[in-house]
Structure 1
Amino acid sequence: MLVLWCPDWPVVAAGACSGTPPSAAAAVFSGNRVVACSAAARRHGVGRGMRRRDAQSRCPELVVHQHDPDRDARLFEPVAAAVEGQAVGVEVVRPGVVAVPVDGAAAYFGGEEALAELLITEVEAKAGVECQVGIADGLFAATLAARRSAFVPRGDTGTFLAPLSIAELDQPGDDRGELVGLLRRLGLRTLGAFAALAERDVAGRFPKDAVTAHRLARGLSQRPPLRRALSPDLTVTEEFDHPLSRIDEAAFVAKTLGERFFAGLANHGLACTRLAIVAVTEAGEERVRVWRCAEPLTARATADRVRWQCEGWLTTRDRPSAGIVRLRLDPEEVVGGEALQLQLGSMGRDADAAERAGRALVRIQGLLGPDAVFTPLLDGGRGPAERVRLVPWGEPRRAVAADQPWPGRLPAPSPTRVPPTPPPAAVLDAVGDVVRCTERGELSYPPSTVAVDGGPTRRVLGSAGPWIVHPALPAHRGERPTARIQVVLEGAEDDLALLLRATIGPDPEWRVEGVYD
């Protein structure tokens, strides 16, 4: 297998959209964690999985990009098209990585080295990005070889993998971080040390995914494909009266096709690991792209790949001359359905109601765009507004930092109302001076009265705090630490509880950050 790898592709794609030069120190963040960074950022100590605060403390000039899988897939289409122009059987593993069976192409072009040189030249000329090529037995070993620009002789895959770090098992999208940490604590530092264990011992001591990782460490395929004749009705085809020419239309169609495709496979007890997406245009042009997946595709994962591919075809310079009138999904490789673990609640009346609601929201996205529907997610943070993150409908909803310690975090309960624009407040002590807070968390005097946004002055019945929040880089950002306090104010009818915030220093500007009912 030959693998062509574009280093730091999420950073390259984000930089191409924002105009950031390739030499800049940049990183892509998802949920306040680094998912990819440039070589310049790595020289400053930035690494994958690092918190944003830590990354910016090591590299103050770091350019920050937000993670966008749609953007990564859309901009990767010219790279896949350049490889496909020279070799057949191209499979997109993920944006940034394509795989090609090497035997036929190498024989045609005069050897593996000649093929690799040709593909690198084509990608740099037509797509304008740098890439590396590796060749080895199996996709996993070939991917690691591409990161090292290595050509592994046939049969030597185990020897090539043995000295590599056990952390190589945690590739993007595999989510094996916990397994890698466990193996390290047990003293298994290399792939060779892990491969030396007996498979029955791995199956008895570790979770199911460890058996797959053990096969990869030994240089074997991730799973043997299901070798049996596939029913022809597993292919899903959709024809359109009005040709698809817009991305929002493609996104709506992708959701429906993904559900139909997944349901058809599930009825036969199967799951897909290699998906071919075929598009036919009104002018008779046909475009084909194959996606290889490490894990069996779910309905949402299928829809994502269809949407990404349609966006890539409709937005590149080599776009079809007419709109798409037919889409077809072909399962090129399947495994038993037991490899796909469905969550509880995926069947029944509640699931039907959730499905109808999901379709309605997808319809709204199709009419108004993908950024028209958001759902709130409780995430990590110190203040009430910081803990709520809006996630576009259809994107993964995972709080990556909610359970982490947050120094200066407010205790429960949270405010019931958080104003979008915090109004100013006058917080005075018993003699009429403005209440100040020191960096050691001490108030100049207890608050006595509070007036909100020029309103009536109310007497403070009780207060709590302060809670101090220090910015990550005050020297570089010019920011000062802030303090929060809670106050209960005397009212004509009901007492009022407020969350107040101000900068620490001689001239604090108090504002109402939240209201407790």
Structure 2
Amino acid sequence: MTAGDPARVLALWCPDWPAIAAAAASDLPPTEPVAVTLGNRVVACSATARSEGVRRGLRKREAQGRCPGLHVFAVDVGRDARLFEPIAAAIDAVAPGVEVLRPGLLVLAARGVSRYFGSEPAAAERLIDEASAAGVECQVGIADELSTAVIAARRAALVPPGAGAEFLAPIPVAELAAEPSLAAKGRADLVDLLHRLGLRTIGDFAALTPVAVASRFGSDAVLAHRIARGEPERPPSARRLPPDLDVEQRCDPPIERVDAAAFAGRALAERLHAKLSAAAVACTRLLVHASTGNGEHLSRTWRCAEPLTPEGTADRVRWQLDGWLTGRSESRPTAGIEVLRLEPVEVVAAGALQLGLWGGVGAEDERARRALVRVQGLLGGDAVQVGVLSGGRGPFERVTLLPLGDELRPAADPSAPWPGRLPEPSPSAVLSGRPRVALEGAGGAAVLVTERGAFSVAPVRLRWGRREWELLGWAGPWPVDERWWDPAVAQRAARAQVLLDEPRALLLICAEGVWTVEGVYE
């Protein structure tokens, strides 16, 4: 992943998970044909069953006629969730921030894990290996938006940044309704209507104008159209709301059985939704947290396409506690659960969602501000922040972030002299994570900054993860020795600018012999 990429999403999908979980619960070998049925029709089947002609939608008797040795199981979402918890825990151990969309499908922010493992392909390979070590086969997809990443996971594709719409264009339009955790209940009817109108691919649907879609179809069609066009959706995020919406229950005696967990989950779900109703919001992302008598802390985030109902919340709490109490993962608690807490991580207005930010009549700036104030009211005062020019020598110090509505007072006076300040122009993008890079001279020698403030050798090459660039030029280094009299805030480093063999330049900073990227010039 290159600097300046948007926040991307990684989706990990375990194909045929209901059938895999049913087989595992019955200790069947993976080679046995398995089908899961609901209402006497097949809703999931294993690869072995498909090779014998079994398909989703077949009646149970017809499926058994095509495959006489077929093992048939009824749908059991609790079983699916319980057996998926070890997989989620294994992925969360190497890539924190996992969000479960449903048993068999999880997502997480791709930026952190790709930086940690060096690149997006390396991160995908590592997560596939972790799932394989946990006993299942999976596929990974990465894209700019969540829905695109899920569709990409079904094709084991890594979509380049900005290419979401191009990737989706040739895919059948029915794929917009293929994932129930991301589609509203009426999405299948919408897809059927689009097909009858002659729109066979997602690209055909995306070619319609937003005005035509909004005037002809409902609100879910507008959301599906945004997905088809590769437009922004809400990404996975670790942001949490203020604790006033949380609900907590102390369990005495501690919970050790699944039936007791289900009872506690139902009671806690009712309390949570009473608070949400009073605040006129609905939860779309829920954190379930449990603490045990031995000091263990377990948590898992569940993400939903539609606002959770009390019944939906209770189900997810029950599934999660069932997975913890009876699961096979290393995170299984060694004592009973003493504290159970539900935390809404993301909420939306209880009424209809606002479809557009700047559409309609009125001053655009004022409408945007009102929308941001509403977001601030939903997510908390610090959720919407405004950048203010501040004083400092580097790009980080020159930006002060303040909550919307607060007095725009910078942390330091920008008009002060600031000797040694980075000269203009400023970087077009500042990287808060400061990814690590290697600056090399001729023969691969590491480039350092000497005590005299000069390069140890002339830089000729830069390595960033698995990528490598030859340098067309460089400037610096410029030593930084700030507040040497105060060890708590002292900074001794050196900055340099390098021009890569592509239309891009980087601002680097070296501290304690380590080069990192501070900014990007486009």
In structure 2, relative to structure 1, the CA distance for the partners of 1:336 and 1:8 (3 Å cut) is same
The counterpart of 1:261, out of the listed 265, 272, 275, is 272
SS at match of 1:55: helix
In the TM superposition, what are the counterparts of 1:25-36 in structure 2 within 5 Å?
25-36=33-44
Query: Quick one: distance in 2 between partners of 1:197 and 1:224?
Result: 25
Q: Normalising by the residue count of structure 1, what TM-score does the alignment of the two structures yield?
A: 0.63
In structure 2, relative to structure 1, the CA distance for the partners of 1:39 and 1:75 (3 Å cut) is same
Structure 2 partner of 1:162: 169
- 2:151 is the counterpart of 1:138: no
Structure 2 unaligned spans of 5+: 1-8, 354-522
Q: CA deviation at 1:339?
A: 4.4
In structure 2, relative to structure 1, the CA distance for the partners of 1:149 and 1:300 (3 Å cut) is same
- 2:125 is the counterpart of 1:112: no
Query: Quick one: distance in 2 between partners of 1:60 and 1:222?
Result: 45
In the TM superposition, what are the counterparts of 1:154-193 in structure 2 within 5 Å?
154-173=161-180, 174=183, 175=185, 176-193=187-204
- 2:54 is the counterpart of 1:46: yes
Query: Quick one: distance in 1 between partners of 2:36 and 2:327?
Result: 23
SS at match of 1:16: helix
Query: Quick one: distance in 2 between partners of 1:79 and 1:19?
Result: 17
In structure 2, relative to structure 1, the CA distance for the partners of 1:9 and 1:251 (3 Å cut) is same
Structure 2 partner of 1:93: 101
Please give the per-residue CA displacement for 1:344-390, whole angstroms capped at 9, x wherever unaligned.
Answer: xxxxxxxxxxxxxxxxxxxxxxxxxxxxxxxxxxxxxxxxxxxxxxx
Structure 1 unaligned spans of 5+: 341-517
Structure 1 partner of 2:489: none
Structure 2 partner of 1:73: 81
Structure 1 partner of 2:135: 128
Structure 2 partner of 1:8: 16
The letter of the residue matching 1:186 is L
> RMSD of the TM alignment (CA)?
2.1
Does 132-141 or 15-24 show the bigger shift? 15-24
Contact 1:215 1:221 in 2 (8 A): yes
The counterpart of 2:293, out of the listed 258, 273, 282, is 282
Q: Number of residue pairs matched?
A: 339
- 2:30 is the counterpart of 1:22: yes
In structure 2, relative to structure 1, the CA distance for the partners of 1:58 and 1:222 (3 Å cut) is farther
The letter of the residue matching 1:91 is E
SS at match of 2:351: helix
The counterpart of 1:103, out of the listed 106, 111, 119, is 111
Structure 2 partner of 1:272: 283
The counterpart of 2:255, out of the listed 244, 265, 280, is 244
Query: Quick one: distance in 1 between partners of 2:270 and 2:352?
Result: 18
Does 9-18 or 33-42 show the bigger shift? 33-42
Please give the per-residue CA displacement for 1:304-345, whole angstroms capped at 9, x wherever unaligned.
Answer: 1111110111112331111111111111111111149xxxxx
Q: CA deviation at 1:65?
A: 1.0
The counterpart of 2:226, out of the listed 210, 215, 218, is 215
Rg (Cα) greater in structure: 1
SS at match of 1:85: helix
Please give the per-residue CA displacement for 1:253-280, whole angstroms capped at 9, x wherever unaligned.
Answer: 1111111112211211111111111111
Q: CA deviation at 1:33?
A: 1.8
SS at match of 1:338: coil
SS at match of 2:31: coil
Structure 2 partner of 1:304: 315
- 2:208 is the counterpart of 1:197: yes
Please give the per-residue CA displacement for 1:436-463, whole angstroms capped at 9, x wherever unaligned.
Answer: xxxxxxxxxxxxxxxxxxxxxxxxxxxx
In structure 2, relative to structure 1, the CA distance for the partners of 1:224 and 1:113 (3 Å cut) is closer
Contact 2:34 2:49 in 1 (8 A): yes
Q: CA deviation at 1:207?
A: 2.7
Query: Quick one: distance in 2 between partners of 1:276 and 1:30?
Result: 29
Contact 1:250 1:310 in 2 (8 A): yes
- 2:350 is the counterpart of 1:337: yes
Q: CA deviation at 1:21?
A: 2.3
Query: Quick one: distance in 2 between partners of 1:231 and 1:338?
Result: 21
Query: Quick one: distance in 2 between partners of 1:166 and 1:256?
Result: 41
Q: CA deviation at 1:100?
A: 1.2
Q: CA deviation at 1:208?
A: 2.5
In the TM superposition, what are the counterparts of 1:407-422 in structure 2 within 5 Å?
none
The letter of the residue matching 2:136 is V
Please give the per-residue CA displacement for 1:377-436, whole angstroms capped at 9, x wherever unaligned.
Answer: xxxxxxxxxxxxxxxxxxxxxxxxxxxxxxxxxxxxxxxxxxxxxxxxxxxxxxxxxxxx
Structure 1 partner of 2:498: none
Structure 2 partner of 1:474: none
Does 29-38 or 304-313 show the bigger shift? 29-38
Contact 1:274 1:333 in 2 (8 A): yes
Contact 1:225 1:335 in 2 (8 A): no
Contact 2:146 2:234 in 1 (8 A): no
Contact 1:275 1:332 in 2 (8 A): yes
In structure 2, relative to structure 1, the CA distance for the partners of 1:51 and 1:208 (3 Å cut) is farther
Contact 2:240 2:345 in 1 (8 A): no
Structure 1 partner of 2:497: none
Query: Quick one: distance in 1 between partners of 2:176 and 2:232?
Result: 13
In structure 2, relative to structure 1, the CA distance for the partners of 1:225 and 1:260 (3 Å cut) is farther
The letter of the residue matching 1:145 is A
SS at match of 1:2: strand
Contact 1:78 1:316 in 2 (8 A): yes
Structure 2 partner of 1:149: 156
Query: Quick one: distance in 1 between partners of 2:235 and 2:91?
Result: 27
The letter of the residue matching 2:215 is G
Structure 2 partner of 1:352: none
Please give the per-residue CA displacement for 1:228-255, whole angstroms capped at 9, x wherever unaligned.
Answer: 9945321111111211111000000111
SS at match of 1:48: coil
Does 250-259 or 164-173 show the bigger shift? 164-173
The letter of the residue matching 2:284 is T
Query: Quick one: distance in 2 between partners of 1:124 and 1:260?
Result: 39
Please give the per-residue CA displacement for 1:58-108, whole angstroms capped at 9, x wherever unaligned.
Answer: 333322111000000000000000001101211011000111101111111
The letter of the residue matching 1:255 is R
- 2:324 is the counterpart of 1:313: yes
SS at match of 1:333: strand
In structure 2, relative to structure 1, the CA distance for the partners of 1:220 and 1:55 (3 Å cut) is farther
The letter of the residue matching 1:71 is R
Does 261-270 or 93-102 show the bigger shift? 261-270
SS at match of 1:291: strand
4+ residue stretches of structure 1 with deviation over 6 A? 223-226
Contact 1:212 1:222 in 2 (8 A): no
